[in-house]
Amino acid sequence: MKNFLFASLAFLFLGNLSAQSDTEEIRRVFDEYAVHVINKDNTKLVEYLHPGLFDLAPKEFFIKMMDEAYGDSTININFSEMIVDGISEPVVMEGNKYALIDHNFDIKMQMLPADDSPEAKEENAGAAALSLPMFHQVYGEENVKFDEETVTFTIHSASETIAVNDEKSNGWKFLENKEDTKPLIANILPAAVLEKLAEDK
């Protein structure tokens, strides 16, 4: 009985150490990923995304899509530091590991006129006015501030990312978990994993 008790305690202790080690490693890798997001270094950023995405579209497609978004001369986008609010204990299925990362950050988006003409400035202000309700709907009105003078939105985003360490990823990789990416994620991760992660929230 005593040996069984010691074995049980050792198993629990080692299990807790493993979960703690996973959480620390997820945090370390996610912090690296976040730096590339803030720096808009899309070539390095995509190396932290789960390879399953590239079965749906080539890696070059994602790089080009983000480069074009950030390269638009009429929109200036900047990100604040990403703050990690919590990392769930990993779910283990068939030797693969999955965890949820809750994090938040601010997005500053300045809309710029195509040129210095009054017409271009008026058109820019009109486009911003049309964008405001959309941002309210997506992020919540309380999370969106708008500076009319500089035509700048400051958006607070509370987000969720799935960390995955499986046979494809060769280490922890990430999938942003939001409404418009869920159909993509459903084609990459097993339904049982997504159900378990949802239960553990």
CB distance 185 to 53 below 8 Å: no
> Which residues, in sequence order, are bridge partners of residue 154?
108, 145
DSSP symbols for the chain: -HHHHHHHHHHHHHHHHHHHHHHHHHHHHHHHHHHHHHHT-HHHHGGGB-TTHHHHS-HHHHHHHHHHHHH-TTEEEEE-PPEEEEEPPPEEETTEEEEEEEEEEEEEEEE--SSSSHHHHHHHHHHHHHHHHHHHHHH-GGGEEEETTTTEEEEEEEEEEEEEESTTTSS-EEEE-STTTHHHHHTTS-HHHHHHHHHT-
pLDDT on residue 170 = 87
Q: How far is C-alpha 83 from the chain's CA centre?
A: 11
Q: Report pLDDT digits (tens) over 67-110.
A: 998 888 899 999 999 999 999 999 999 999 999 999 999 999 99
Question: What's the rounded mean pLDDT across residues 177-196?
Answer: 93
Identify the band that residue 177 occupies on the pLDDT scale cut at 50, 70 and 90: very high
Half-sphere CA count of 77, side-chain side, radius 13 A: 15
> Phi/psi class of residue 151: alpha, beta or left (left: φ > 0; alpha: ψ in -120 to 50)?
left
CB distance 38 to 75 below 8 Å: no
Q: What is the dihedral of CA 147, 109, 172, 68, to 10 degrees?
A: 170
Query: The pTM is what?
Result: 0.85
Every domain of the chain and the residues it spans: 2-199
Q: Report pLDDT digits (tens) over 27-67.
A: 999 999 999 999 999 999 999 999 999 999 999 999 999 99
